[in-house]
Amino acid sequence: MKWMDISMKLDAETPPWPGDEPFTYEVTYAMEDTGSVNVGQFKGSCHIGTHVDAPFHYDSSGARIADLPVERFSGKAVVVHLDRPEVIHKEQVMDIDLTEVDKILFRTNSWPDRSAFPASYSVIGSDLAAYLAEQGIDLIGVDTPSVDPETSKDLPAHHSLCAHDLLILEGLVLENIQPGIYELMAFPLKMTQADGSPVRAVLRNL
């Protein structure tokens, strides 16, 4: 079975969170100078493109990216379609069979133009975390820049998900993915101090 790429591309056009560091890549040592190799460097926010949040992002005593067990970033995932809901509540997921899976990915279609940060997007209701954790879910993924609104300062969705030990995967590209159950892999880099990390997120049919 072929892997399907559900990640955003990272380049100077990738829209960062408003005011945050864009992604840049440049060649530090060029072939013409070294005679043997091109060597590059990159820079950018930990929350750019398709990425995982570490609890340290919203809790100064929370776990960093490298503290999160690698097992948490692969497993069976259900892809759920909801067309541009303002807020995703427990009621919208209660009919979905979650017995076979430990991840849930929401396709909301609320960030169609990936060349710009969206004016608004679907967010996660704070009643969802307790329900999903009860069902054995350990990771939630969204096709939006964040699980909370852009202007939120108290980040209720982030905190409720963390309180129930659900990891957060943001900025997924699910436009070509049909509802159903898949195998997910989305591994963050092993950055000791980081509050988040871009991932290469992929799905394959089971």
Ligand X SMILES: N[C@@H](CC(=O)c1ccccc1NC=O)C(=O)O
Residues placed in the known binding site for substrate: 17
CA 47 and chain centroid, separation:
9
Residue 98 or 148 with smaller CB distance to ligand X: 148
Among 146, 157, 166, 169, contact with Zn ion (rule: CB under 5 A): 146
In this structure, what token pair is assigned to residue 97? 């069979």
Q: Are 49 and 144 in contact (CB under 8 A)?
A: no
A 10 A CB-CB count for 10 gives 19
Residue 57 or 107 with smaller CB distance to ligand X: 57
Q: Are 117 and 8 in contact (CB under 8 A)?
A: no
Residue 132 or 197 with smaller CB distance to ligand X: 197
| From the list ligand X, Zn ion, none, partner contacted by residue 117 (C-beta under 5 to 8 A by kind) | none
d(CA 48, CA 97): 31
| CA distances from residue 129 to 108, 115, 161, 187 in whole angstroms, order as listed | 18, 30, 5, 22
Within 13 Å and on the Cβ side, how many CA atoms surround 155? 13
| From the list ligand X, Zn ion, none, partner contacted by residue 20 (C-beta under 5 to 8 A by kind) | ligand X
Binding-site residues: 17, 47, 51, 53, 158, 170
User: What share of residues in the chain are helix, strand, coil (percent, to 5)?
Assistant: 15, 30, 55
Beta carbon of residue 20, minimum distance to ligand X (angstroms, whole number): 4
146 binds ligand X (CB under 6 A): yes
| From the list Zn ion, ligand X, none, partner contacted by residue 103 (C-beta under 5 to 8 A by kind) | none
Beta carbon of residue 145, minimum distance to ligand X (angstroms, whole number): 6
Beta carbon of residue 22, minimum distance to Zn ion (angstroms, whole number): 15
Which positions are annotated as active-site residues? 57
Q: Is the C-alpha dihedral spanning 150, 153, 157, 163 positive or negative?
A: positive
170 binds ligand X (CB under 6 A): yes
d(CA 134, CA 125): 16
Q: Of 45-53, 62-70, 109-117, 136-144, which segment contacts ligand X by CB under 6 A?
A: 45-53
Residue 51 or 107 with smaller CB distance to ligand X: 51
CA 205 and chain centroid, separation:
20
Among 10, 14, 53, 108, contact with ligand X (rule: CB under 6 A): 53
Please give the residue ranges that form the binding site for ligand X (CB under 6 A).
Answer: 17, 20, 45, 47, 53, 57, 145-146, 170
